[in-house]
Chains A and B, each alone.
Chain A
Amino acid sequence: MMHDDLIQQFTRRAFLGRVSHGLGALALSSLLKPDIAQAAASDQWRGIVNPLPYKQKAKRVIYLCMAGGPSHLETFDPKPKLTEMHGKEMPESLTKGQQLAQLQGNKLTCFAPQWGFQRFGKNGTEICELFPQIGSIVDDICIIRSMTSEAINHDPAHCFMNTGSSIPGRPAMGAWINYGIGTPAENLPGFLVLTSHGKGGQNQPIAARQWSSGFLPSKFQGVHLRSKGDPVLYLTNPPGVSREMQNDVIQATSKLNQRWDNVMNDPEVATRIAQYEMAFKMQASVPELMDISQEPKSMLDLYGCQPGDGSFASNCLLARRLAERGVRFIQLYHKDWDHHGNLKNDIQLKAQEVDRASAALILDLKQRGMLDDTLVIWGGEFGRTPMSQGGNGRDHHIKGFSIWMAGGGVKGGIVHGATDEFGYNAVENHIEVHDLHATMLYLMGMEHTHLTYKFQGRDYRLTDVFGKVQKKILV
């Protein structure tokens, strides 16, 4: 789809809206009346891909980003061979000429998995003993042990995972998806991001470019929902201004805008009025959404969180609430997985922070009947080396690592792909980041090669010129 067509569609919509029944006036009158607001929602972006070429199995995505790069060898990929080889030199055949990060130029020795593995579920899938709760839902998830990435440092690797390119500037997957199919969320943006810190102290920075709309229109950019202060920036009225008073100001503004529109015939004015309406609605809907104290105690216990604690667990519960409200793409970052050293203790800390909550999210979605049409993805921007770093840690690794997916048309209870016996190279059913993106878009009903946007003379897409839909893992 060309840029122009998009603008044309926006403009045309605003234009027709005004001609047919005066969108501005309608929006204004519906500020405090949700029923009329429903009617005004015709203004909402419904996506460029229309009709969908494939059946939409996943209506939304919840992406649990384990930022920093979790070790696959202490999570989902058991490697007894590595225990045998502990302290011995890594076979040069595997590592020669390969890209390394901090271990570049160092002697490379095998480092045994620091924790044991246990069997879970119907098929006795092996998962690290630190993650018994995820183990308990293993029949609902598809573990992929053969992911690879291209970028070996955090910043570019996040960029690659999110945008399909390690060079900044391209739209994030959440932006692509909202551009492609819009969002049914009425009072919320279609792409929301939550972040949480880990207690281990390796909280790698994350840049807002990871949820940028890149060259797509700004309305598709991810909005960061913060756990401290205003959840959305500038959401709260200034002190001394009540909701009613704020509404009075907005009403006056909109009336004057409406009048201005009559003079100018500028479609942007009607859009402006609608945006004030949306902003005003968000001022009520977002705090309500963020208030998990409304949840029953049993629910807080299931996730293992306290209202206002800003934890990953709270964010998982919020993700479910966002999913219920129709948000199309929900992304959670949990940081502090960068275990160059002290891996044994620190990964235990991470397990305590994410195991229960990740599993709770799946259980909760399932019991609400939402898992079928929600795609959940759990994983980091890369894995970690089978080689030791400093005798107690692992370096970044891109040649093979693990993620898991659940719901939204993905087969549960399977393990897909494998690394070699050292956990170094993905050797079976290898899945690249672009394949993951292609599969995600397919599950949402889109053909990844057709979701394009013309920018600087060429058609860009999330999957660049790559990407294969991974049908083997689909229901």
Chain B
Amino acid sequence: MVDRIGSALSAHCQFFPLKTHRRKRSKIKSKQRIKIHPMFRPFLTSPIFCILSLMLLLPARSEETPVPEKIEYNRDVRPILGDSCFKCHGFDKNHRKGDRRIDTREGALADIDGIKAIVPGDLKASELYARIHSDDEEEVMPPPKDKRQLTVRQKAILSRWIEQGAEYQDHWAYIKPTKPTPPDATQDVFTKNSIDRFVLARQIGLGLKPGKEADRTALYRRLSFDLLGLPPKPEEVAAFVQDNAADAYEKLVEKLLASPHYGERMAVYWLDLVRFADTAGYHSDNPRNIWPYRDWVINSFNENKRFDQFTIEQIAGDMLPNSTKQQKIASAFNRLNMTTEEGGAQPKQYESKTVTDRVKTVGTVWLAQTYMCNECHDHKFDPVTAKDFYRIGAFFADIKEETIGRREQGIIVAPPELEKKLNDQSALVDRLNQTLVSSTPEIKAAQEEWEKETIKSEALVADWTPILPTEKPAAENKSVYEVKQDILFVKEAADKEVIRIKAKIPLKHITAFRLDALADPALPASGPGRASNGNFRLSEFSVEQLLPDGKLQPVVLQNATATFDHSSMSITQAIDGVTASAYENGWGLTAEEAGKDHTACFETQEPLTGDGEINVVFTLRFNYGGQHLLGKFKLAATTTEHPVRAPGVKGAPHDVMEYLAKPASERTPDQVARIEGRFREITPLLNTIRQEHAEAKIKRDELESQVARCIVSERNETPRVVRVLPRGDWMNETGEIVKPGVPAHLPQPAVEGRDLNRLDLAQWLVSRDNPLTARVFVNRLWKMFYGVGLSKTLEDMGTQGEWPAQQPLLDWLACEFMESGWDVKHVVRLMVSSGTYRLVSQTTPEIQEHDPFNRELTHQSPFRLDAEFVRDNALAISGLLKTRIGGPSVKPYQPAGYWENLNFPAREWANDQGENQWRRGLYTWWQRSYLQPSMLAFDAPSREECSASRVNSNIPQQALALLNDPTYVEAARAFAARIMQEGGNETDARIAWACKQALVRDAQPDEIQILRALFEKQLAIYTKDEGAAQEILKIGQAPVPENLSKTELAAWTSVARAILNLHETITRF
């Protein structure tokens, strides 16, 4: 079909021959006239041509939008020039072609060698017009090889715009919003507040009208999901339906806004923006202490904290005078970026990544600007320079942090008493440690003595008796060791483990124990450990003697030696009494030692005695994770007199022996320290203090496990130097050094006589002069309640973003927001109280055809619930949901082995037990590199970077998750139990009750019929196969009510699964 606009325009063009003589620099040779595409020629003389021309403004179909009568630069022209022209003729001077810029009127009208790109009102004289219509390959703009060719309609718009005077407008979003007066448009019932006046006025102009108001049931469900992220209870809905008060709806809005779950719902949106997650992100993706920030966000929304204050506390909470602990926690915002612990990572590189990430985040969250483009160059479309980018980055250069490596633990978030207890205990540990490392003449003398003896020491031989376990070792986790004679071999390994081995040793006394770690080709990397690299980490080795009276007597071990004894994971760490401390603490090997046998020996401080048989229990702890267990090992005991050492080991580990062999004057400070350290690990002089120290550490660890911590922002005295990195290259240090500053094209902060700082940035973001922040925020709120933003590009309010057709409404809302004192609940209330919000979601094919994305708001828009709420909804319907607010992140069911590709250390997700299993989705442990897969399936972002708008996809993984994830199967069987217990006795009544619970509406007879057929068939199957019924009821942790028929419950579970899988169930409409 021939494009109507095209034919009309082509005809138009015939009358404006190109004047080649004026183009002095032009290579154009012959083209005197623009050629008319042959396709259009017949139309020029066609009788229907005139009719078609008249039809220009009459849209037949939505995709053939007419050329507006009055062209508006921002709405009509800027998107075309922005896409196709500004790349070479725009703001970026380094890429400008022929010195011609047309992003400003001045530039477009400029006379360059006698040529003007635009002569307002004069198409013939406008080079731009000639160029876009030329069919000379060397002349035409954009050049033929450019992908962004202009359509006929776009050319028509540009032409009409020039004809009408080529008026430019500043980019709308960079002009401070002024509050428009709401239009005087009203319609009975529909118009509830000013929002509706704007919407209606536009609809009237387009010949549209709003649809009907949704019924109260639908309204309650919609409001409940939008404000709380939770479904309503049917009885509450019934009460609302029957409430005849004129302000019944308003009362409901107030009730929901006052719910503590409102803060949770709002947090879900905010946490995406600020990229909140529980882990570091890069490489090993280790945990970090951050969840108190999440709770701060929830509480802030619940308290309705002013948005300006909310902003300031996050960016600069630590800089506020006498900042509170909560304000410090808010400043964790600055620490949410991804970090790495990868060996060999270059600090400068990650410093530059951090700058980029922070500028991008602040730019997107508050300003909806795409500043990341400026890392390498001036912006192609927006008036922002690379220097602006690094100046924003410089605001954050004061933050105290190690660029790479593990994050610090963060500040303590706990009740003051507990915090004090912990601080006291930590001080005690430090004091004891101080004693442990400080020298006294006595210790000094003893060390000298020890050194002399040790130098002379020889490897020893002892007489070893193999120890045969009396039963299979008991494992706390799921590991299984097979025993053959004295050899233990791991058959199944848990991630971490504690094993206990009982043995009867046929000796009268024991002076030492021996542990042999044995290599074996059947182990990964040939062992002797079970980890993928053949390693193990023996966190603690302890022995208890079983006395004749049945009591267990701890055996004190000393002088541990091993054939491989590295200072960072020495054998002495395996008997230091520290069982629960840092996972690294323990005996292990380096990679080179894999595949070899190794032996450790432990003297007993006092000999064990018995009458020909000594009963002992060994406890071996492996806290490292990643299956760092001993894969194959054996134990032995000896009666040989002390000293007893591992084979081939002299009085100290090999490296210490080597240093001792050198004259003292030739030892390096490290070597001296290693010798002294070794001595202190074993000298009996320090036995008591070592023991106290170990016990104090255990106590401190216990206390530590009871307090939460949160990494926050703290300031460095001297900020890091920030330079402009040419083309973003972090290795290039030739760029200009910059001070903090906001983009030059925006209103500047009123600060004089000192450098700007983070607090200035925060205050500038929420100043009344900032044209962007309020618009950005209300636009995103709009998306939450209507499915799409007034400008749909939530992340870009720059010139490439979508110009909002409803700009007056957006500006009105932004001004209202600021005037209300940045009152978030006020704006939310306005939006959800409007008549526009209350419309039905149902559409007709006609509406969809003309306005497929409902941009004219003639009805509400249905959309699938966010990932968290899909989960919350199912748990709520099933009755399993626990509504406690806040606290550490939790681990709902996740398939085993999902983290197999994580390493350093290897980890396994442990499903939470008990109540934490049924918490709301927003509390799910957020592992950036492997997000919990049901959350991922429903489009929860990994939060590796700032995300302003989730995709809302519809993929088979969602079906698989809802059908088969234990979370949803367990929810279904819990729901089934409720159906049987609360839904009456008749099948149909139960189905109706179930639908009411899940869908908040009455089921229709045909729906009941479909589900009854399902129930009956499944019941028949389960009746025949009761085993199958037992199987499905075992899924999950929720108890199965004993008084219910298992076969019936299983069949109702199938019905419940069908209901929980419905599109309607997971859709807010």
- Using CB atoms and an 8 Å cutoff, list the residues of chain A in contact with chain B: 7-8, 11-12, 15, 19, 97, 99, 101-102, 104, 152-156, 167-169, 189, 195, 197, 199-209, 212, 217-219, 223, 226, 228-230, 232-242, 245-246, 248-250, 252-253, 255-257, 259-260, 263-269, 271-273, 275-276, 278-280, 282-283, 333, 335, 341-342, 395-396, 449-450, 452, 456-459
Contacts and interface: CB of A to CB of B under 8 A. Distances in A.
Given A205-B904, A240-B1031, A259 B344 contact: no
A279 B956 contact: yes
Contacts of B945: 167-169
A452 B147 CA distance: 10
Given A238-B1035, A255-B1010, A275-B955, A155 B283 contact: yes
A325 B532 CA distance: 33
Contact of A208 (B931, B964, B1013): B931
A228 B929 contact: no
Interface of B: 63, 147, 281-285, 338, 340, 342-346, 349, 353, 356, 370, 372-373, 380-382, 524-525, 531-535, 591-592, 594, 731, 793, 795-796, 798-801, 841-845, 848, 852-853, 862, 864, 895-898, 900-904, 928-931, 933-934, 936-937, 939, 942, 944-945, 951, 953-961, 963-966, 969, 1004, 1006-1007, 1010-1011, 1013-1014, 1017-1018, 1021, 1027-1035, 1050, 1054, 1057-1058, 1061-1064, 1067, 1069
Given A169-B945, A202-B591, A205-B904, A104 B525 contact: no
Given A260-B1063, A275-B958, A456 B795 contact: yes
Contacts of A260: 1062-1064
A295 to B, nearest CB: 24
B1069 A264 contact: yes
Contacts of A246: 963
Contacts of B1004: 259
Given A195-B900, A238-B964, A238-B1035, A207 B531 contact: no
B964 A235 contact: yes
A234 B895 contact: yes
B901 A195 contact: yes
13 contacts: A167-B945, A201-B532, A203-B533, A205-B903, A233-B895, A248-B1054, A249-B963, A249-B1058, A252-B1011, A257-B1062, A260-B1063, A268-B954, A456-B793
Contacts of B356: 167
B731 A99 contact: yes
Given A153-B283, A153-B344, A201-B531, 13 more contacts: A19-B845, A101-B345, A155-B282, A201-B525, A205-B903, A239-B1035, A255-B1010, A265-B843, A273-B1063, A280-B959, A282-B956, A456-B796, A458-B800
A253 B1058 CA distance: 5
A264 B862 contact: yes
B342 A457 contact: no
A209 B525 contact: no
Given A218-B953, A233-B898, A260-B1064, A278 B842 contact: no
The 4 closest A-B pairs by CB, nearest first: A201-B533, A457-B800, A240-B1031, A240-B1032
A226 B1058 contact: no
Contacts, number: 278
Contacts of B864: 268
Nearest to B896: A229
B1035 A226 contact: no
A457 B798 contact: yes
Given A226-B897, A240-B1028, A200 B1011 contact: no
B592 A341 contact: yes
A209 to B, nearest CB: 6
Contact of A233 (B373, B953, B957): B957
Contacts of A457: 370, 373, 381-382, 793, 796, 798-801
A239 B1031 contact: yes
Contact of B1014 (A154, A248, A273): A248
A217 B798 contact: no
A234 B1034 contact: no
A249 B793 contact: no
B591 A201 contact: yes
A271 B1014 contact: no
Contacts of A101: 343-346
B1048 to A, nearest CB: 14
Contact of A229 (B283, B372, B841, B895): B895
Given A168-B944, A260-B1063, A153 B1050 contact: no
B340 A153 contact: yes
B49 to A, nearest CB: 30
B147 A450 contact: yes
Contacts of A253: 1058, 1061-1062
A252 B798 CA distance: 47
B283 A241 contact: no
Given A212-B942, A268-B864, A342-B592, A232 B960 contact: yes
Nearest to B529: A201
B959 A278 contact: yes
Contacts of A97: 731
A208 B930 contact: yes
A458 B799 CA distance: 11
Contacts of B842: 263-265
B848 A240 contact: no
Contacts of A245: 1018, 1021, 1054
B1034 A239 contact: yes
A207 B285 contact: yes
Contacts of B63: 8
Contacts of B1064: 256-257, 260
A228 to B, nearest CB: 5
A102 B345 CA distance: 8
A458 B904 CA distance: 37
A240 to B, nearest CB: 3
B843 A205 contact: no
